[in-house]
Structures are given as C-alpha cells and as structure tokens.
Amino acid sequence: MSMPPTQAAPSVEALVGRIADEFTQRLDRGEHPSIEEYAAANPAIAGVLREALQALELLRLPDLQTAITEGDPFLTAPLGDFRLVRRIGGGGMGVVYEARQISLNRSVAVKILPLAAALDPRQLQRFKKESEAAANLKHEHVVPVYVVGYERGVHFYAMQFIEGLSLAAVVGEMRRLAGMEQAEPEATAPYLPDASNAGTDTLPLATLATEGSTRSPEYFRIIGRLGLEAAEGLEHAHQMDVLHRDIKPANLLVDQRGSLWITDFGLAQMRSDARLTRTGELIGTVRYMSPEQALAKRVVVDHRTDIYSLGATLYELATLEPVFKGADRQELLRQIAFDDPTPPRRLNKRIPRDLETIISSAMAKAPARRYPSAREMAEDLRLFLSGQPIKARPEGLLRWLGRRLRRQVASLLLALAAFISLVVLAFMLLSTKQPSPLGTQLSPEEKEVKRREEALAALNHDLGLGKKVTLIGEVGRPAYFRWRTDDTHGNIAQPLDGPFEVMHLEYGLVELLPDPRQERYRFSAEVRHERESIHEGRVGVYFAHSEIPAGNTNAHFYCAVDFNDLIDQGANGRNIVRLEAQRQPPKGLENNTAIVEETEAEFTPAKVIGAPGPWRTIEVEVRPESITIFWEGICIGRTPRATLMMSARPLLNKPPQPLATNPEFPPRGGLGLFVTKAVASFRNVTLEPID
C-alpha cells in the first residue's frame, strides 16, 4: 500500500502514532505510563487514543507472547467446531489432539493429517471418499468418526475420544515387564505417548501384566478376545466395503473397560501415497503389511489384507516379537513377501496350539489361503475362547514342500526386481535433476511431458510460418516450458486463473522456446517483481542462450534484460534496467559469474509493500546486427552486435574450465524467463518475427 500524501495538519494517525511511540518507548524502559494521563493531555482525541493505547497494552500481554510463540499452531484457535485442548499423541498419520466439540459440548479426539498439503487433489478426493465411508461405520469395536473436515489449510477428522491405550503401547509395556528391550520406538501408541505413565491400573494392562502373564492361559484368552473384537469390527467394515489397509497394534485401542476399538479407517491410502522420508514411520507401517501389499506398489488389495495384518498383530501380542525384524524397509518387504515367520510356539511354548493355528491361517502368504473373511476368523477365535475345536487346520507338510519349490522361483524374480531397482536408483542418483517430492508420480508427469512436446511442436509450426506466437497469455501457464537451470531451489506456480509465477532462491532460467527459429524477432513480456524476493534479486527475460560444455557440466551463455522493482539500486532513488551478457558457470564456481552491462536505463522502483507491484513491459528486438531494448514502451538503447561480441569475449577468456570453442553470439538460441533470488509473475509473453 502506498503512503497517502501527508496532510497539512497532523492526522489522527500521525498524532496517535507519535504518542504511541513515546508510550512504547516508556514501556520498553520498564516504566508504567498512564493511559489516562495521555488521554487528558490530548482531549481532542481522548477517546480513540485511550483505546489505541489499550490495544497497545494488549499486545504486550505476556500470554500473547506465549500464544504466538507456543509450539502448536492448532491449540490457539478453534478448528471449525473444535477447540483443541491438548496434544495427546502423534504418529505417522498425523497428530491427535484431545478436543472439545463446541456445538455439542462433548469431548472428542481430533486427528490432524500431516502433509495433507502435499497431496494432490486426486489424492484428497480419495481421502475424502474413504474417510466419509469410514465415518459411516457404526460398530461397537470401531472408533466412530464424527466429522471429516477441512479448515485452516488442514484436513482433519474428529472421532470419539477413547480413553485408553493402543495395543502398541500394551506390547511395549509387556516387553518392558518381560525384561525385553523396547526395541521398536516407532511402535508407540498414537494416543498416549508414554505408555508407562498411562496408569497400569487400567484393566487390560493390569490383567495382562500380572506376574508370569505371558505364560498364563489367561493372557492368551485376552489376546483371543481382543482378536475377536477386532475381527468383528473388521467384518462390519468389510460388509460396508471399507478396507482398513493399515491394521497394526498402534491402530487398535483398548479402553478402560478393556474393550477394543479399531481406529484410522481409510487413512492408509494416504500413507501409501505420501513419500515419507522418515524411515522409522515407514517401517512401523511396513511391518504389518500383507505380502500382497509388500510385493507391489499399487496392487489392488482386498479385505484379506486386513486379515493378514490382524494376524500379524496377534502374532506380536502372543510372542511379544514382531513377525519380521528386517532393519530397513527393503529387507522387511522382502521378508514379508518371501520368508516364513518363526512359528509362534517356537518363541513361546505356552501359546495354545489353536491360537497359533488361527494366527498362521490369518497370515498365509497367499490371500486365498487365509480366512476368507473376518467373520470366519472371528468364528474360530470364538471357538478357541470357548474351548471348542477350531475350523482352521495347521498347514500340512506337503503344502509346505510345494511352497519351498515355488519360493525358489520367487527368489529368482526377487533378484531380478532388486537389480532393476538398483538401476533405477543409480539413474536417479546420477541425474543432476532432483525429482521434486511431489512430481514423481509417473503417469501424470509423462502426460505433461507429452503435452509440452506437442505444444512446442505447434509453436514451432507457427514460427516456421512466420507467425506471431503467444508463449504466455494474459493468465495461466505457458504451453511449453522447462527449467534451464537447476530447479532444486526453484518453484513454478501455475494457477489457471492467475499469472504464471516463477521463483528461484538462487538463479533460474525457465525456457519458453528452445529456438525462435529466426534471426530477427521481437520478444515481449510483462513482468512483475513480486515482493517476497530477496532484495538484491532481479527478474526479467533472457534470450540468445547457449550452453557450452565446461568441465563436467555446462556453462550458460545468454543475454538478459532484467530489473529490480523493490529497492533503490541506482543513484537518486532510481533503479536500473539493463541488458547484460552473462556467463553462468557450473555450480560451485559461483564467483566466476561475470556480467557485462551493455544497455541500461534508469527507472523509479515501485518499492511495493503489501499490494502487488506494477507490471513492467520489456520488449527486445533481436537482429543479427543489433539488439534493441524497450522498457515500458520506450526505447532505451540499441546495442550493436559487435559491441556485444566484444564484451562477451573477455568473459570467455576466463571460463571455469577451458572451453573447446568460444560461443558466437547467436541471435537465435533459447529464450525465456529470468529470475534470480526473486519471485516474479509473467504474462502476455509473445514472440514475433520482424524485419
């Protein structure tokens, strides 16, 4: 916002400002100035002044500092209908808060999804669909989801607040009591971060933890009952066509009555899409994955995946050991897909044979070998609990032998797969471009590449006919573009309804055309230097770009017309728009950058604050004999090619590495957008052949 001209008489603002300034200074000195004194001394504005100073004092509430600087963004303002009370846990799938639903005045748990931000609309759509389906589940062993919402930039859902523990915490505690090390830090409860202070007097834990518990038949009956309840909850969900996809101890809660609740229905989908860097979380997730999930990235899984994972969970409860202990993701995936777990009874002889059989049946590698439904698993668990013979049979010796053979074929396949991933990995490491974390989805990306190629072909066609082409329109993105420099520190925003925006934290060229296809052309663009730039940054356009091998990478040569609209760089509060020939050496040799200023003109920078600054028009007429620059429609100079060549020469004498040849100034060559340490918007970018 620009400053209004100063009025003759001091405005109320100026007056209040002056007094507030003094008032603030006195507060800073530790004094206690009196608002009333100031009000009395300025009777004409006593009313507003009093309130303005009161407002000022509110800014100094110690609690305000706390509110602003407190670690948690969500605790301070309500999230829709929910006022978050305290954080009760965090995990791979988000942070859980105890909260108050304002309208119904009830206690709820609100889970805030992490990186919902990073999901694309398609993924969000799917999340919404899934979580809404999950919200329809009504079962005594499924945590009811009350609301699925989006507020203040985050996706969250509110569910019944269950006071209790997750089975992950139970296992952790059991292991601790059994004198085993707490080996799986990632497996802690999403609900109660610290299992040890969660009150060992709550029922299940108390029962579970009685001495010698892991040996007592009672312990395994409890496991059987918990498994039964989970299976019943799953069966209900499966009936409603909702898969969980991520059944694991951390997602099974036990309340204070000892009743089991399944939570986080429909969320696993999100996780499989999130490319997590935090390996620990990923491993926590992977551990209970079904073999079919482990084998393929995007396999269509069915309800039997949940059955497997429930089996793996019961296995861990019974043995207090995870099914597989692979140290990293790859190893775990391999084990899940191909290895047989140690039979539970080999780890703990007290485990009833039938419980072992139930667990093994649930965990068969092939889905077709598992219980066909959660109902059948529940049925067997019920039989086990009532002491009757179960229906599942332990795997026979013959079947086992058959599997051995198949496994040999499988290991061959695995070796092949491992080799392929190695090649892919090597390729990724060697490629200088760092794939953006969001951009690795292949098919849309490939589509986009194809789209751009087609667009470029169309542009080239028109240029070949001598037509004027529009590279960027009034709004929206270019038909064709690509980063010409390292994009690790760059970003392109391409709103459909807003101007095309490029930012680069260091130095970026975005190509709009690899070649104008003629030697005489006019390149025009409207450029806006956005405020969130580093002040010394510059924005504009470039042309006549060429790349010369220098050492193991390339040096860039180009001409740029650029400016800075944020600060005064010239004398007298004026700024400079300039044409320069540049050589950008390979990364790591930044200090070698040389600039030759050829043409420049002064202008008054907009020094925008708050509102967007002005659009600046740049036109460049390139001919083999000269370059002519127009700034805001006015010709600011013509540079003969000879001069430019001459000034370009010295540049080339000191290349970062000896160059095979010195580049000629090409009237042709790549052209596009120039952004260094800045954010800029671009529109109405055109290229037309001239005489």
Partner 1 sequence: MDPAKPDSSDTEQLLQQAHAGDGRAFEDLFARHRAYLHQVVALRLDPRIRPRLDPSDVVQEAQLDAYRRFKDFLERRPMSFRLWLRKTTYERLLMLQRFHRCAARRSVDREVGLPDKSAFALVQQLLARGSTPSRHLEQSETARRVREVLAQMSEVDREILLMRNLEALTNQEAAEALEIEPVAASQRYGRALLRLRKLLRANGLMGSKS
Position 13 contacts partner 1 (CB under 8 A): yes
Q: Which stretch binds partner 1 (CB under 8 A): 58-66, 230-238, 261-269, 341-349?
A: 58-66
Least distance from C-beta 136 to partner 1, angstroms?
26
Q: Which stretch binds partner 1 (CB under 8 A): 54-62, 166-174, 576-584, 643-651?
A: 54-62
Position 679 contacts partner 1 (CB under 8 A): yes
Q: Which stretch binds partner 1 (CB under 8 A): 3-11, 258-266, 282-290, 474-482?
A: 3-11
Please state, in angstroms and as integers, the Cα–Cα distance from residue 298 to each residue in 269, 435, 628, following that order.
Answer: 10, 20, 55
Q: Which of 8, 9, 43, 71 touches partner 1 by CB under 8 A?
A: 71
Position 650 contacts partner 1 (CB under 8 A): no
Q: Which of 61, 104, 180, 458 touches partner 1 by CB under 8 A?
A: 61
Position 532 contacts partner 1 (CB under 8 A): yes
Using CB under 8 A, which residues numbered 135 to 164 contact partner 1? 152-154
In the block, tokens 């009196």 appear at 34
Residue 333, token pair as written in the block? 């995936």
Position 595 contacts partner 1 (CB under 8 A): no
Residue 24: name the closest of 55, 62, 65, 64 by CA: 55
Q: Which stretch binds partner 1 (CB under 8 A): 185-193, 279-287, 415-423, 533-541?
A: 533-541
In the block, tokens 């940054």 appear at 537
Distance in angstroms (rounded) separating the CA atoms of residues 306 and 325: 20
Least distance from C-beta 234 to partner 1, angstroms?
32
- Give the count of beta carbons closer than 10 Å to the beta carbon of residue 567: 13
Distance in angstroms (rounded) separating the CA atoms of residues 482 and 484: 6
Query: In the complex with partner 1, which residue's Cβ is closer, 510 or 648?
Result: 510
State the pairing for strand pair 500-504/634-640.
unpaired
Using CB under 8 A, which residues numbered 96 to 115 contact partner 1? 114-115
Q: Which of 240, 475, 505, 652 touches partner 1 by CB under 8 A?
A: 505
Position 573 contacts partner 1 (CB under 8 A): no
Q: Which of 41, 67, 178, 183 touches partner 1 by CB under 8 A?
A: 67
End-to-end alpha carbon distance in the chain: 43
3-state helix/strand/coil string of 222-270: HHHHHHHHHHHHHHHHHHCCCCCCCCCHHHEEEECCCCEEECCCCCHHH
Distance in angstroms (rounded) separating the CA atoms of residues 34 and 22: 12
Least distance from C-beta 10 to partner 1, angstroms?
9
Q: Which of 677, 681, 682, 687 touches partner 1 by CB under 8 A?
A: 677
Position 65 contacts partner 1 (CB under 8 A): yes
Least distance from C-beta 276 to partner 1, angstroms?
12
Position 41 contacts partner 1 (CB under 8 A): no
Catalogue the E-assigned strands of 67-171: 82-91, 94-101, 106-112, 145-151, 154-160, 164-166
Q: Which stretch binds partner 1 (CB under 8 A): 118-126, 323-331, 511-519, 638-646?
A: 118-126
The single-letter code of the amino acid at 504 is: H
Query: In the complex with partner 1, which residue's Cβ is closer, 48 or 652?
Result: 48
Residue 559: name the closest of 475, 634, 644, 636 by CA: 644
Position 217 contacts partner 1 (CB under 8 A): no
Residue 230, token pair as written in the block? 């989970």
Please state, in angstroms and as integers, the Cα–Cα distance from residue 351 to each residue in 179, 245, 317, 513, 641, following that order.
Answer: 19, 27, 11, 70, 88
Query: In the complex with partner 1, which residue's Cβ is closer, 197 or 591?
Result: 591
Q: Which of 36, 40, 57, 330 touches partner 1 by CB under 8 A?
A: 57
Q: Are 361 and 392 in contact (CB under 8 A)?
A: yes
Please state, in angstroms and as integers, the Cα–Cα distance from residue 634 to each residue in 118, 537, 619, 624, 628, following that order.
Answer: 44, 24, 9, 21, 11
Query: In the complex with partner 1, which residue's Cβ is closer, 325 or 447?
Result: 447
Query: In the complex with partner 1, which residue's Cβ is closer, 425 or 609?
Result: 609
Position 58 contacts partner 1 (CB under 8 A): yes
Can you name the residues that pair with 542 across neighbouring β-strands? 560, 672
Using CB under 8 A, which residues numbered 437 to 466 contact partner 1? 437-438
Position 25 contacts partner 1 (CB under 8 A): yes
Please state, in angstroms and as integers, the Cα–Cα distance from residue 291 to each residue in 159, 263, 331, following that order.
Answer: 30, 22, 13
Distance in angstroms (rounded) separating the CA atoms of residues 108 and 86: 11
Position 256 contacts partner 1 (CB under 8 A): no
Least distance from C-beta 87 to partner 1, angstroms?
13
Q: Are 117 and 91 in contact (CB under 8 A)?
A: no
Q: Which of 68, 327, 401, 496 touches partner 1 by CB under 8 A?
A: 68
Interaction mask 606-625, partner 1, x per CB under 8 A = -x-xx---------------
676: enclosing H helix or E strand? strand 670-676
Distance in angstroms (rounded) separating the CA atoms of residues 247 and 313: 8
Position 569 contacts partner 1 (CB under 8 A): no
Least distance from C-beta 489 to partner 1, angstroms?
7
Query: In the complex with partner 1, which residue's Cβ is closer, 495 or 650?
Result: 495
Least distance from C-beta 179 to partner 1, angstroms?
37
Position 84 contacts partner 1 (CB under 8 A): no
Q: Are 463 and 646 in contact (CB under 8 A)?
A: no
Burial 441-451 (b: 16+ CB within 10 A, else e): eeeeeeeeeee
Interaction mask 419-438, partner 1, x per CB under 8 A = -----------------xxx
Least distance from C-beta 452 to partner 1, angstroms?
20
Site residue total, partner 1 (CB under 8 A): 77
Q: Which stretch binds partner 1 (CB under 8 A): 13-21, 185-193, 304-312, 624-632?
A: 13-21
Q: Which stretch binds partner 1 (CB under 8 A): 53-61, 295-303, 327-335, 665-673?
A: 53-61
Region of residue 153 (phi > 0: left; psi between -120 and 50: alpha; otherwise: beta): left
Least distance from C-beta 497 to partner 1, angstroms?
12
Q: Are 270 and 127 in contact (CB under 8 A)?
A: yes
Query: In the complex with partner 1, which residue's Cβ is closer, 199 or 613?
Result: 613
Q: Are 258 and 204 in contact (CB under 8 A)?
A: yes
Burial 123-139 (b: 16+ CB within 10 A, else e): beeebeebbebbbebeb
Position 11 contacts partner 1 (CB under 8 A): yes
Least distance from C-beta 59 to partner 1, angstroms?
4
